[in-house]
C-alpha cells in the first residue's frame, strides 16, 4: 500500500499498478478505463508516493503478471542482479535525483540543446 498527504487530504493507493496509473499524466483513455487520477491533487499525491517507492518493488511486484506478458518475462528472465545491485537501494525519486545530478546528465542538459525554429535559424535549408 502506498500513500501521500497533500494539504490535509491523505491519498492511499492499493498497489503499484494503481499508483502508476494515478501518477501518470492525464489521458482520455485512462479516464475512460477508470484508472486516471480523479483530480490534479490526487495525481500529485500519487507522484509524491511514487517517488518514495524502492526500485526493487518493480521487480518484486510486476505490474503485469509474468505468465501473461512476454515483455515482463523478458525483463525478469534477463535481469542482471549484479548491475542492479548498484542502484537497488534507491527509490524512484532517488534515482531521478542521482540521474539529474550526474555530470553526464548536466552536460546533456536541454538548456544546451536549445532548439531553433526554422525562422530563427535562417534560411539554411
- What pLDDT tens digit does each residue of the chain (125 aa) get? 999 999 899 999 999 999 999 999 988 888 888 889 999 999 999 999 999 999 999 888 888 999 999 999 999 999 999 999 989 899 999 998 888 877 765 555 555 444 554 554 554 44
Q: What are 54's strand-pairing partners?
A: 91
* Domain assignment present for 112: no
50 exposed, middle or buried (CB, 10 Å; 0-12, 13-18, 19+)? buried
Q: What are the CA-CA distances from residue 12 to residues 47, 61, 93 (Å)?
A: 12, 17, 18
Query: 39 and 13, same structural domain?
Result: yes
Of 52, 21, 47, 51, nearest to 36 by C-alpha is 21
The answer to whether residue 74 sits within a structural domain is: yes
Structural domain includes residue 76: yes
Co-location of 67 and 97 in the same domain: yes
SS3 assignment, position 5: strand
Q: Is 70 inside any structural domain?
A: yes
Q: Indicate whether this model's pTM tops 0.75.
A: no
pLDDT of residue 53: 95
Q: Both 59 and 37 in a single domain?
A: no
Cα–Cα distance between 45 and 48 in angstroms, integer?
5
Its domain, for residue 37, covers 1-53
**Other residues' Cβ atoms within 10 Å of the Cβ of residue 37:** 22
Q: What is d(CA 50, CA 24) in angstroms, rounded to the nearest whole number? A: 10
Residues 61, 48 within the same domain: no
Number of domains in the chain: 2
Amino acid at each position: 500500500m502506498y500513500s501521500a498527504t497533500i494539504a490535509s487530504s491523505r491519498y492511499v493507493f492499493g498497489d503499484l499498478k494503481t499508483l502508476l496509473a494515478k501518477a501518470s499524466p492525464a489521458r482520455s483513455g485512462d479516464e475512460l478505463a477508470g484508472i486516471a487520477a480523479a483530480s490534479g491533487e490526487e495525481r500529485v499525491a500519487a507522484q509524491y508516493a511514487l517517488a518514495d517507492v524502492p526500485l526493487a518493488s518493480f521487480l518484486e511486484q510486476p505490474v503485469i503478471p509474468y505468465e501473461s506478458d512476454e515483455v515482463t518475462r523478458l525483463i525478469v528472465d534477463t535481469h542482471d542482479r549484479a548491475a542492479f545491485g548498484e542502484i537497488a537501494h534507491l527509490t524512484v525519486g532517488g534515482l531521478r535525483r542521482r540521474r539529474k545530478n550526474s555530470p553526464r546528465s548536466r552536460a546533456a542538459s536541454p538548456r544546451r540543446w536549445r532548439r531553433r525554429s526554422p525562422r530563427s535559424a535562417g534560411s539554411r535549408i
